């Protein structure tokens, strides 16, 4: 499958519709392909050359798609930049500057509204004549994907055309894509689940797509679900399922029929099975099938996909003996069933299976020293295969998990970072913010990620005594993680924080101490 074929051979009668404030605007793939090639021609006229990176700073919408696929047509490498949202102006400006500095783009393409955010930006336009689609090699860069917290130094993940094509095929296999399928998405396009798992998978397959902005989903989640009365494929993080179940009243579902809804990828956060159960129960009156819930595991370094549940398979739910969750030790399973066979009890000790590896991806579990562990043992997840970007044969993910009954169960990050609404937040950034806000000595303060199943969580280790600094630390952490984040403060004498010989904190050891109750 050539993922750029549609730019020169768009299927008639297929296309997308983009949500407006009061309706939808539709366009065919033939119209989008022509507009994209004109956009690509304008970038070349502005000085971009094949192989150059072009950063795109625009909200989800038709101009952004034209610019993205225009870059593809011109042999350029598009790089999405998070559009302005809830971040303070200073923090957002620093984030944009860091991405631009790291990406070294030939152009930063923006709209009129955001042009002032970047010096020498190129306001999106279309040339009079479309560019011919330029050839690319498998090892050329298709996209430059960034993973970063809301305030930290971004990390660029270069993705080749070969790697991207493999990941799109992974998504097609996961959802059992069939010719004529359609999908819907509101996910941010700077995140891999929104960009690759939905947008590119559907457009490159030339399926009809309904596309919304994240803010439109938050204002009215029912608008997204209304799309699924005719669509087959979508994706969402767990918080969105809970949000929809909370906000959508039964009377709004009148006339809804989800019989054709076949797949919803669920990922980007640790997946609480109680949330899956609640969503399936809430929308059962509209014919929602729990087997459409497809828990998955992925990361930017694999461009998206690592594992996923099989088509038509309801998620596997297990209850674990909490005391058995010790690194390098066997996990004790107390109970298991498929979603829908029994109610999922309250939160705590329950985990969701994320399926098995996709295509040629291989999953391993290793201990602290990198020694392979058998199924049923808790350790660090490692990944290998063609989905992995870069030159590393094996990628150590920094996530804790175990394998059971052919599926991967993910506990979360091992003290280094955490995801908030689909975005990675690095603890080093949080640590610096806490030190700045509190005046605590940097060497006596360490932040460790301790995510909950349903919300982000961190522990702040401080060699010192209680004081007014706790209020300041709480305020700055909630500003970055959200009001529902769980915060823990661990205070002690000098020596509480274990460090390497080079002075780096042993976050994994601190994380393990909390897991063990020490």
The burial of 84, by beta-carbon neighbours within 10 Å (0-12 exposed, 13-18 middle, 19 or more buried), is given as: middle
Hey, what long-range contacts does 315-318 have (CB within 8 A, 24 or more apart)? 315/273, 315/276, 315/290, 315/339, 315/352, 315/353, 316/352, 316/353, 316/405, 316/407, 317/273, 317/344, 317/350, 317/351, 317/352, 317/353, 318/350, 318/351, 318/353, 318/404, 318/409
Mean pLDDT of the 177-181 span:
90
Quick one: what percent of the chain has pLDDT higher than 70? Answer: 91
Classify domain 1-153 by CATH number: 3.40.50.12780
CATH code that applies to domain 315-412: 2.30.38.10
* Contact (CB, 8 A) for 50 and 134: yes
pLDDT-derived band at 151 (thresholds 50, 70, 90) equals very low
Q: What share of the chain is helix, strand, coil (3-state, %, to 5)?
A: 30, 30, 40
Q: How far is CA 41 from the centre of its chain?
A: 31
Q: How confident is the model at residue 26 (pLDDT cuts 50, 70, 90)?
A: very high
pLDDT interval class at 377 (50, 70, 90): very high
Nearest to 421 by CA among 369, 483, 470: 483
The predicted pLDDT at position 175 comes to 84
pLDDT given for residue 167 in this prediction = 86
Q: How confident is the model at residue 69 (pLDDT cuts 50, 70, 90)?
A: very high
Query: What average pLDDT does the segment 1-27 reach?
Result: 93
Look-up: residue for tokens 């908030």?
Answer: 420
**Cβ pair 248, 223 in contact under 8 A:** no
- The answer for residues whose C-beta is within 8 angstroms of residue 117's C-beta and 6 or more apart is 57, 84, 92, 93, 96, 110
The stretch 453-459 carries a mean pLDDT of: 81
Q: Does the fold of domain 424-516 match that of domain 315-412?
A: no
Q: Which CATH number is associated with domain 424-516?
A: 3.30.300.30
Q: Which of 84-93, 150-159, 491-500 is modeled with the greatest confidence?
A: 491-500
Q: Which helix (H) or strand (E) holds 276?
A: helix 273-282
Whether 41 and 77 have beta carbons less than 8 Å apart is answered as: no
Short-list 351, 329, 361, 490, CA closest to 415: 490
C-alpha to C-alpha distance for 169 and 3, rounded to whole angstroms? 10
Predicted confidence band of residue 392 (pLDDT cuts 50, 70, 90)? low
> Are 99 and 51 contacting, i.e. CB atoms less than 8 angstroms apart?
no
**Model pTM?**
0.79
Dihedral sign for Cα atoms in the order 306, 311, 314, 316: negative
Answer whether residue 9 shows pLDDT above 70.
yes
- Spatial contact of 317 and 353, defined as CB atoms under 8 Å apart: yes
Least confidently predicted of 17-26, 425-434, 444-453: 425-434
Does residue 105 register a pLDDT over 90? yes
Which secondary structure element, helix H or strand E, spans residue 73, and what is its range? helix 62-73
- Beta-strand ranges (E) seen in 373-480 are 379-384, 394-404, 407-413, 417-420, 423-426, 445-449, 457-463
- 421, 237 Cβ separation under 8 angstroms: yes
Distance (Å, whole) CA 275 – CA 427 = 26
**What are the CA-CA distances from residue 391 to residues 46, 139, 175, 204 (Å)?**
33, 12, 28, 26
Residue 153's pLDDT band, with cuts at 50, 70 and 90, is low
pLDDT for position 502: 46
Mean predicted confidence (pLDDT) in 428-453 = 82
Tell me what pLDDT residue 73 has.
97
pLDDT at res. 430:
83
Question: Domain limits of the chain?
Answer: 1-153, 315-412, 424-516
């Amino acid at each position: 499958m050539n993922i750029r074929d549609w730019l020169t051979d768009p299927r008639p009668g297929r296309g997308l519709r983009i949500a407006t404030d009061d309706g939808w605007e539709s366009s065919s793939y033939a119209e989008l392909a022509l507009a994209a090639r004109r956009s690509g021609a304008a970038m070349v006229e502005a000085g971009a050359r094949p192989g150059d990176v072009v950063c795109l700073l625009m909200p989800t919408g038709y101009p952004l798609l034209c610019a993205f696929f225009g870059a593809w047509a011109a042999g350029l490498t598009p790089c999405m930049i998070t559009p302005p949202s809830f971040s303070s102006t200073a923090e957002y400006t620093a984030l944009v500057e860091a991405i631009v500095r790291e990406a070294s783009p030939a152009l930063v393409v923006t709209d009129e509204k955001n042009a002032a955010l970047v010096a020498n930006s190129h306001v999106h336009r279309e040339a009079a004549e479309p560019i011919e689609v330029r050839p690319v090699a498998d090892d050329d860069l298709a996209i430059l994907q960034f993973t970063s917290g809301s305030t930290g130094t971004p990390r660029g993940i270069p993705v080749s055309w070969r790697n991207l094509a493999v990941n799109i095929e992974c998504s097609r296999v996961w959802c059992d894509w069939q010719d004529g399928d359609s999908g819907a998405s509101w996910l941010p396009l700077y995140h891999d689940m929104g960009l690759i798992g939905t947008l590119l998978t559907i457009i490159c397959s030339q399926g009809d797509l309904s596309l919304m902005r994240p803010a439109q989903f938050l204002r009215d989640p029912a608008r997204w679900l209304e799309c699924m009365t005719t669509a087959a494929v979508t994706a969402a993080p767990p918080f969105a399922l809970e949000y929809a179940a909370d906000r959508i009243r039964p009377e709004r579902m009148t006339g809804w029929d989800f019989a054709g809804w076949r797949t919803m990828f669920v990922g980007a956060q640790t997946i609480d099975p109680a949330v899956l159960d609640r969503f399936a129960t809430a929308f059962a009156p509209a014919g929602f099938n729990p087997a459409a819930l497809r828990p998955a595991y992925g990361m930017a370094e694999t461009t998206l996909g690592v594992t996923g549940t099989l088509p038509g398979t309801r998620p596997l739910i297990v209850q674990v003996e909490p005391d058995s969750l010790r690194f390098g030790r066997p996990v004790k399973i107390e109970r298991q069933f498929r979603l829908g066979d029994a109610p999922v009890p309250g939160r705590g000790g329950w985990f969701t299976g994320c399926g098995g590896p996709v295509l040629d991806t291989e999953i391993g579990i290793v201990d602290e020293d990198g020694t392979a562990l058998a199924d049923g043992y808790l350790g660090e997840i490692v990944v290998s295969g063609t989905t992995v970007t870069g030159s590393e044969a094996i990628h150590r993910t920094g996530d804790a998990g175990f394998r059971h009954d052919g599926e991967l169960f993910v506990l979360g990050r091992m003290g280094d970072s955490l995801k908030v609404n689909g975005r990675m937040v690095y603890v080093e950034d949080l640590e610096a913010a806490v030190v700045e806000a509190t005046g605590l000595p940097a060497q006596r303060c360490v932040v460790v990620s301790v995510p909950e199943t349903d919300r982000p969580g961190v522990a702040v280790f401080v060699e010192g005594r209680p004081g007014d600094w706790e209020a300041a630390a709480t305020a700055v952490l909630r500003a970055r993680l959200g009001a529902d984040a769980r915060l823990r403060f661990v205070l002690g004498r000098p020596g509480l924080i274990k460090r390497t010989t080079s002075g780096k904190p042993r976050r994994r050891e601190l994380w393990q101490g909390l897991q063990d109750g020490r």
